[in-house]
Amino acid sequence: MGLLSWLLRFPGSISDLAQAISLVERVVALRTEVLGPDDPKTIDGMNNLGGALEAQCQYEKSETLHREAPARSKRVRGRHHLDTLNCMSRLPSVLSEQHDAEKNVESIALLREG
């Protein structure tokens, strides 16, 4: 299990989820700087961070990451790679949580094209 997954799955081992998110944000920033923005580990970190932000109801930040991660993953890994599909599966959830009619329509369209 990678560091990001560990931090996000076991936030109780850190004082709280907000602190875990702060650590994950730093890890993603370092991965972006060291490995590059299109490295698979950076992309996976962005996807995980988006999920953690969604759990904290930070939907706009989460949406941004859940749009960016699949776009990068498609470019790097291809559209049908399992990790790309995992990235793509997260955006509809974030969109539907925002209770915005246009975003709900987009969410349904994304699920259909899945």
What is the tens place of the pLDDT at every residue in 17-46?
Answer: 778 888 889 999 999 999 999 999 999 999
Q: What pLDDT shows up at residue 1?
A: 46
Name the CATH topology of 3-113: 1.25.40
- Asked if residues 101 and 61 have their Cβ atoms less than 8 Å apart, the reply is no
Mean pLDDT value across residues 38-63:
92
* pLDDT the model gives residue 40: 96
Contact (CB, 8 A) for 9 and 31: no
Q: Taking 70 as the threshold, does the pLDDT of residue 82 lie above it? A: yes
Whole-number pLDDT of residue 70: 93
Q: What is the pLDDT of residues 3-20, one digit of tens each?
A: 556 555 655 555 577 788
R_g of the chain computed on alpha carbons: 14
Q: Where are the domains of the chain?
A: 3-113
The distance in angstroms from the start CA to the end CA of the chain is 27
